[in-house]
Structure 1
Amino acid sequence: MMMPLEASDAEVEAFAVRMGFRDPLHVQFWNWAKNAVRGDFGDSLWQRVPAMELVLERLPASLLLCFTAITVALLASIPLGILAALRPRSWLDKLTTSFSLIGVCIPDFWLGLMLILVFAVAIHLFFTSGYGTPRHLILPAVTLAARPWGRITQIVRSSMMDEMHRTYMMTARAKGLTEQKVIISHALKNASIPIVTLAAWELTRMLAGYTIVVETVFAWPGFGYLALQAIQRRDLTLIQADVFVVALIVVAMNISIDFIYATLDPRVRLA
């Protein structure tokens, strides 16, 4: 992979010495760890450029896709979940519950292909692949948002139904507050902790590599698609750089969600 097939034994040996492959294992590990802390994993075996540079080039595309998808999921799930909770066992509740279950169960690759067939091939409304305009973004974002939308809709519904029967809700209504004020300012605010928890988990899961399938279907130039290409080409340095960035993202998301908890509920204290 790193040397041409026609390289002589002397050239292979010289390359191994230059790369440190002949050093003791503890020396090799120390050199690797020292460079890894700085984010230096060496050059990609496939592209022959620094691996971290390749990952950081693809990171903005993945961030755009993931944050758009979770925004779409939240904008669609919160109103539907609230309406379903306000009308339990109604046709709207049953319809919302059914579609949310479909959203959770439907395979991403199948949904993406169906959206391409309908909205790109049949009516030419969006593009099938690429990156750069909203017409490129909408189909992969909707595909990626389907499963989080289903889960968040269910948790919004169940959390709101729990809050609607609390004593403080009757007190708020007795004070003369409008129903909209009671639902938004009191019920939804107190139900927000599990909603935020699930939304943050879904976003972290997307950023941690769940986008690989969607990025592959739509040829989206994100670092998930890059990771798949690295695996196919056995590019170990690029895989290590990708995993390193994913680990940093997961840690950053966990820290951020702790601060969001403290903002939403003052009773939550950061240790």
Structure 2
Amino acid sequence: MDVFRLPVLSDNYVFLLFDPSDRTAAVVDPAVAEPVLAKLQELDATLIAIFNTHHHFDHVGGNRDLLARYPDTVVYGSSVDRQRIPGIQVKLQDGDRVQFGGETAEVLFVPGHTRGHIAYYFPTAGHLFCGDTLFAGGCGRLFEGTPAQMLQSLDRLRHLPDTTQIWCAHEYTLKNLQFAITVDGDNTALQVRLRQVRQARSQNKPTIPSTIGLEKRTNPFLRWDCPALKTAAKIEEPNRVFARIRGMKDRF
């Protein structure tokens, strides 16, 4: 299974999964259809699946146009979002499995950004498609969930293998790390990463995918229980530390 990263809109990524053995494809969170259709044509591939992580328009906006071109495509999404995802056919819950490219993905229920957010984890290939739950250097805003829900979701993700590749849906890394350094400034790994990301973005290079291991070392939203973050938050209890840091990021 090959993964193609398609930049769309101002800072979104759409991910096209391609199985060269039978020239089929799946797409994760198609904000718009046109770049997906162009890549499918380039690969001479047939779209058979749309994997949505949540209902926000910049993740599902291309569903109907893709279905118009490939009407046999199956649309997957959270059962919680069954009224909010265009064209949804398969309504997923935590622990369900989906198939693509000879591999099986586990469906992880990770609410917080929205109340129905899910992620798709391919353990054999080591790919995590996590939408807006976990970002490189950050996490999603809490639009519909609580700090406790988001902390639980992120804690679940940080227990995946360190080598897991994180395919998050936005190029927010530089701004995320610019905030992270304000609350975790003595973190040498974070200092190094911030320099590397500044260099990459100055050359318009993408910073996605990241890895779970890198995020555990440098992402304050996976480090709420470390002494530096407790000091920055001026409190000890994990839920409150996370909520305080998230609030600081919202105002950054």
Task: Tell me the TM-score range normalised by the shorter chain.
Answer: under 0.3
TM-score, reference length from structure 1: 0.22
TM-score, reference length from structure 2: 0.23
